[in-house]
A and B are shown apart, each in its own frame.
Chain A
Amino acid sequence: MTSESASTPGIDGDYEALISTTDVELLKRAWRNEKAAPEILHFESALIQRIRGQIQLMEETVEEFSGSGIDPLSVSLYQMDLDRTQYLLRSYLRIRLQKIEKYIFHISNNSEVQSRLSGQEKGFARRCTEDMERHLEESVLSKLPDNYRDILKQSIISEENDMVPEPHLDTFVVCKSRRFLGPFQLDGSDELLEMKPDDLCIIHYKSIRERVQEGEIDLV
C-alpha cells in the first residue's frame, strides 16, 4: 500500500484523510490486508520503520515514567498502548514469515515476489530454502529413482516446476472499497462491477489484486 507516498492526492477529501491517518491505523490496515490476502504483499518498509521508532521512543518514555513517580495509572495505560502496537507489528511480521515458509520455492524462483520482501525477509527466505532443499535431498530425494530426484519437478519429463506450491490467487476474499470505484471488469467474465464506499463484496482475489496493492480496496 502506498498511501503515504500518495499517488493521487488530488481530491481534497482524500488528502484530509491522508494527513489525519495515524501510523497505527496504517499498520492495522496493512495487517488486515496481509492476513486476508492469499499471497504476500509489498513490505511497508517506511511505515514499519516509523512504527519501530515510535515503539522504541515509547518504551524509553515508559521506563522514565515508572522511575520518576508519574502515577501508576498513566504508566499502565501507556504500557497498554505500547502492547497493542507491538502486537500489531509482531503479528504483521509473523504472517509474512508464515507465508514465506509456505511458498518458499515459489518465492525463490520468482523475482517479482522477492521484490516484495524486506531485506531481512529475503535472508530468511534464502536460509529457509537452503535448509528445506538439504532436508528433502537427504531424507527423500536421494532415495528415489534417478529421474525423480528434482526438488522442483515431479520427474525429468515434467515441463514445468510442478512440485512447487503456489498461492491460490483465485480464493474469494471479502473486501470494502474506500472510494467510489467505477465499473471494472472481473477476472474471467464479461461482467462489470462497481463499488461504492463501504459496500461489502466477496470477490476473487485475482480481480482486485492491483487495487489492493494501490490501497483503493481494503480486505476485511
Chain B
Amino acid sequence: MAGQSDPHQSLFSAEEVEFIAEDEMVEIIPNLRMDALNFICGDFGPFFPQIATQVPLWLAVALKKRGKCTIRPPQWMSVEKLTQVLEAERDSQRMFEQLPFHYIEISRLLFDHARDDIPDVYMVRSLIEDIRDVRFHKVETNLETLTERAFALKINNLSAMEVNIVRPFVGRALQAFYKHDSLELIPDQERVSDRRPQVANNATRRHLRR
C-alpha cells in the first residue's frame, strides 16, 4: 500500500528506492513502430524499429518484458569500467568512487529482466557485487571512527541504496552522541547535591509515548 513502509526500520523501503530509480533514463532499441507516448511524467517516442531512443527504466523494462525492445546497458556497466572502479575502491580508504546514484537498483533491474542484453553478464554481475562489498565495508570502517559528537557528516558519492541501509544506524548513532555530549555540556550551576539537573526538552519525551 502506498506510504505504508515501516517507519522504524528505514524511512524508505527497498522497493521505494527502486521506484525512484526506475525513472532513470536508459537507451533502448525497439523492434516495433509505435506512436509517441504522452505520459504525465513526460513525452517519449515515437518509436521506430532499430532506432535507439531514451526512455525511463520502468518503461524499458515493461517493453522488454513484452519482447518489444532490447536494452542497451549504460556505459558504466562494462567490464573495463567496472574493473577500474573496483581497483580504485580497493586503493582508497576513505573516498568513494563516482558511480551513478542508483547503480545498484539499475544493475539489479537489468540483470533480472535484460540479462541477454548485457555482454559478459556474469563478469559484470560479480564485479558489481565486489564493488558493493568493498564500499559497504568502507562505510562500516569509517563509521567506526566516529568517536565524538559530529554536527555534520559528509559522505560523497554514496549511492541511494547504501544511504538507505546506513541511514537508521547513522541517524541513531549521531543522535546518541548529540544527546550524551550535550548533557555533559550543561554546566553544574545547580550545586545542589541531591538533585540532578533536569533537561527539560521535548526530545526526551520519546520514552513516554511511542
A residues lining the B interface (CB < 8 Å): 22-25, 28, 32, 35-36, 51, 54-55, 58, 71, 73-74, 76-78, 80-82, 84-85, 87, 90-95, 98, 162-163, 165-166, 168, 170-174, 186-189, 191, 193, 198-204, 207, 220
Contacts and interface: CB of A to CB of B under 8 A. Distances in A.
Closest 5 CB pairs of A and B: A94-B3, A81-B39, A91-B2, A90-B2, A24-B41
Contact of A186 (B39, B42, B151): B151
B59 interface: yes
Contact of A204 (B40, B151, B160, B205): B151
B35 A74 contact: yes
Contacts of B39: 77-78, 81
Interface string B19-59: 11001000000000011010111100000000000000011
Contact of A81 (B40, B63, B66, B153): B40
B203 interface: yes
Interface in B105-158: 151-158
B11 A35 contact: yes
Nearest to A189: B151
Interface stretch (B78-86, B87-95, B163-171, B189-197): B163-171
B170 A172 contact: yes
A36 B151 contact: no
Contact of B151 (A85, A91, A163, A191): A191
Contacts of A73: 34, 66, 68
Interface of B: 2-4, 7, 11-12, 19-20, 23, 34-35, 37, 39-42, 58-59, 62-63, 66, 68, 151-158, 160, 163, 167, 170-171, 174-175, 178, 182, 202-203, 205-206, 208-209
A58 B205 CA distance: 46
A117 B2 CA distance: 20
A201 B152 CA distance: 7
Given A24-B40, A198-B156, 14 more contacts: A24-B42, A28-B20, A76-B62, A77-B39, A77-B59, A80-B58, A84-B41, A94-B2, A162-B202, A172-B171, A202-B152, A202-B171, A207-B152, A220-B163
Given A188-B151, A199-B154, A168 B206 contact: yes
Contact of A35 (B12, B41, B66, B68): B12
29 contacts: A24-B40, A58-B40, A73-B66, A77-B37, A77-B63, A78-B37, A80-B59, A81-B40, A81-B41, A85-B41, A91-B3, A94-B3, A98-B3, A163-B208, A168-B202, A168-B206, A171-B175, A172-B174, A172-B175, A173-B171, A188-B182, A200-B154, A200-B155, A201-B154, A202-B154, A203-B152, A204-B152, A207-B151, A207-B152
B35 A94 contact: no
Contacts of B41: 22, 24-25, 81, 84-85
Given A170-B178, A171-B171, A200 B158 contact: yes
Contacts of A91: 2-3
A184 to B, nearest CB: 11
Given A35-B11, A162-B205, A171-B171, A22 B42 contact: yes
A35 to B, nearest CB: 6
Contacts of B19: 84, 87
B163 A84 contact: no
A201 B153 CA distance: 5
Nearest to A81: B39
